[in-house]
Amino acid sequence: LSGPRHAIRLLQRGMTTQAGEPVVADGILGDETLGALRAVDALTARAGFIRRRILDVGRIVEGDPSQVPFLVEWLARTLEFLP
């Protein structure tokens, strides 16, 4: 749930290349990811990232209820990405 590779993977999921193919969610900020980012506006990319992060947090808590105490902080950090 943390670290730059995970954040990049979240960003990559749901993105497409200029050819319309899904961007490989490998956690590497390379030419393919940068090209896909240039093709969308910043607000769209940010909204997709936030949505995917919230869903990830929900899946973690759903799969392991012992993680509930961390939920508020995870969501608070996610909301920091809002404009």
**What's the pLDDT score for residue 19?**
86
Torsion of CA 70, 72, 77, 81, to 10 degrees: 140
- Token duo for residue 13: 């999921």
**What's the pLDDT score for residue 69?**
97
Kindly give the confidence (pLDDT) of every residue in the chain, 83 residues in length, as a single tens digit, with 9 standing for 90 and above: 689 999 999 999 989 988 889 999 999 999 999 999 999 998 988 999 999 999 999 999 999 999 999 999 999 999 999 88
**What's the pLDDT score for residue 27?**
96
